[in-house]
Amino acid sequence: MTVAGPVWGIPPTIAPPGRPPRRAEVVIVGGGITGVALLDVLRRHDVDAILLERDHLAAGASGRNAGFLLAGVAENYARAVERYGRTTAAEVWAFTIANHALVAAAAANLDAAHHVRGSVTAALDAAEAASLEAAATLLAEDRLPGVISRASDVPGATCALVNPSDGEIDPVRLVGGMAIPQAARVFENHPVVAVEDGENTATVHLEDASVEASLVVLATNAWTAQLLPAIPIRPVRAQMLASAPVAALVPRPVYAEWGHRYWRQRDDGAVLVGGFRHRAPAAEIGYQLGTTEVVQAHLDAHLRELGVAAAVTHRWAGTMGFSEDGLPLVGLAPACRRIYVCAGYTGHGMGFAVNAARALADRILNDEPLPGWLDAARCAAS
C-alpha cells in the first residue's frame, strides 16, 4: 500500500494544547524550520516570543522536502554569478555554508540523521556540462567548495560537480527536535486568518481570538501572500516519492538536469526521488498538495532508471515559496511598521532558513543591517 503523504511522518505533539496569550512581544506565524529557528534564538535572548502554527509543526514545505543541505541556490554558481553578480553570488554561497554549520550545531544533540557526505550536481547534456565546468572554475577562484568529477555514477551524466561539504538530514526530526526546548511557547492548530499592522502594536487574528504584539514575523513561506498580499512570493508545487528500502545505491544527494530532478537514499535504504515539475510547469503553480499522474510517472521512470525495483511506499507534494529574484525575503515588510517576513526560499529553505532566522533575529535584537540581496526592502524598489 502506498501512503499519500511524506516519508518523514510528522513530529510528535510537543506540548498539551492550550490557548495563546492575549499579548506577546513577538508573534511568529508558521511552525516550519524558519519559525522554530527564530523562536529558539529569540527565547535564548529572553524575548517574550510565541509561535502560532495552523496545523502541526513541519506541516508545510519543511516536512515535505528531500532533506538536502546544499550550498547556494538551485542554479549552479556560474549561472548565479551571471544573474546576481560575482560579489552577491559569493555572499549567497557563504551564507548557505554558514546555514549548514548552524543546522549541524542544532542537530548535534538530536536524532535527525544529519550526515555530511557531499552532493553531486550532474550534467545530462553538453550545455549543462560546460556550465558546471565554468561553475567549478569560479568556485575555485572564490575559494568555495566544488570540483568537477568525470567519474560520475549518475546514469546518463557526462560530468558532475561535487561539493564534499554538503549534507542531508531528516527535516521533520530537525524541526521537531529544535522546538522541544520552547514547547511552552508553541501553539499548534491555531490558524492565523489575518495580520493587522499598527502604529504602536500589531494584531494577529485567529479564528476565535486575537493576539497583540510589538512585532509579528511571517515565517509562512509560500503562504505569505495570503496574509500580506503585497509580498511577491508565489506558490510552486514540488512532488516526490519514496521506495521501500534497497541496498546501498546513492551515496550522497544528487541534483541533475539543471536542478529539475533530484534524489537521495536514507539510512534505512529508502530511495527518495523528486522534481520533474518542468514537465508540467503550468499545473505545478498553486497551493494544491495533491500529486499528479504526469509528474509521478516521471518520478517512477527515474526510480527505475536508478535500478530500483522496490515498491513505492510514499507519494507526496509540498508547496514552495518562490520569490521574484530567487533569493529569500527577510526583514521589515515594505510599507509596514511592525510586520516582518522571513520567507521566499525558492525551493532551498533547508539551505537558507536557519541562517535567515539568525539574521532576522540580529536585525530585531541589535538593529544589525541585512545584506541588500536578503532584505525584503528590495520588494519596494522592484
CATH code assigned at 162:
3.30.9.10
Residues 147 and 186 in one domain: no
Q: Which domain holds residue 361?
A: 21-64+172-232+325-381
Confidence of residue 382 (pLDDT cuts 50, 70, 90): low
Please give the grid coordinates belonging to residue 174: 530537525
pLDDT surpasses 70 at 297: yes
- What pLDDT, on the 0 to 100 scale, is given for residue 155? 82
Of 299, 320, 341, the last residue of a domain is 320
Of 296, 320, 344, the last residue of a domain is 320
Give the span between the Cα atoms of 190 and 249, in whole angstroms: 42
If you ran DSSP here, which 8-state letter would residue 375 be given?
B
Alpha-carbon separation of residue 3 from 93, 315, 316 (angstroms): 36, 6, 8
| Overall number of domains in the chain | 2
Higher pLDDT, 382 or 99: 99
Give the span between the Cα atoms of 144 and 360, in whole angstroms: 25
Domain assignment present for residue 101? The answer is: no
Residues 156 and 265 in one domain: yes
pLDDT surpasses 70 at 381: no
Residues 137 and 255 in one domain: yes
- Percentage of the chain exceeding pLDDT 70: 99
Q: What is the pLDDT of residues 210-220, one digit of tens each?
A: 999 999 999 99
Residues 240 and 373 in one domain: no
Rounded to two decimals, what is the model's pTM?
0.97
Q: Which helix (H) or strand (E) holds 349?
A: helix 349-366
Worst-scoring range by mean pLDDT, 12-16, 118-122, 290-294, 320-324? 12-16
Domain assignment present for residue 7? The answer is: no
Residues 226 and 295 in one domain: no
Q: Where are the alpha helices (H) located in 108-208, listed in sequence order?
A: 126-141, 171-179
CATH code assigned at 176:
3.50.50.60
Q: What is the pLDDT of residues 190-240, one digit of tens each?
A: 999 999 999 999 999 999 999 999 999 999 999 999 999 999 999 999 999
Worst-scoring range by mean pLDDT, 10-19, 20-29, 110-119, 304-313? 10-19
Who contacts 279 (Cβ-Cβ below 8 Å, separation ≥6)?
294, 295, 298
Residues 255 and 180 in one domain: no
Q: Is 2 helix (H, G, I), strand (E, B) or coil?
A: coil
Give the span between the Cα atoms of 327 and 325, in whole angstroms: 6
Of 297, 320, 343, the last residue of a domain is 320
Mean pLDDT estimate for the chain: 96
Residues 143 and 223 in one domain: no
Residues 212 and 344 in one domain: yes
Q: Averaged over 284-303, what is the pLDDT?
A: 95
249 with 307: CB under 8 angstroms? yes
Residues 365 and 347 in one domain: yes
Domain assignment present for residue 3? The answer is: no
Residues 225 and 342 in one domain: yes
Residues 258 and 309 in one domain: yes
Residues 255 and 304 in one domain: yes
* Cα angle value 228/233/237 (rounded, 5°): 125
What is the sign, positive or negative, of the torsion defined by CA atoms of 282, 333, 361, 186?
negative
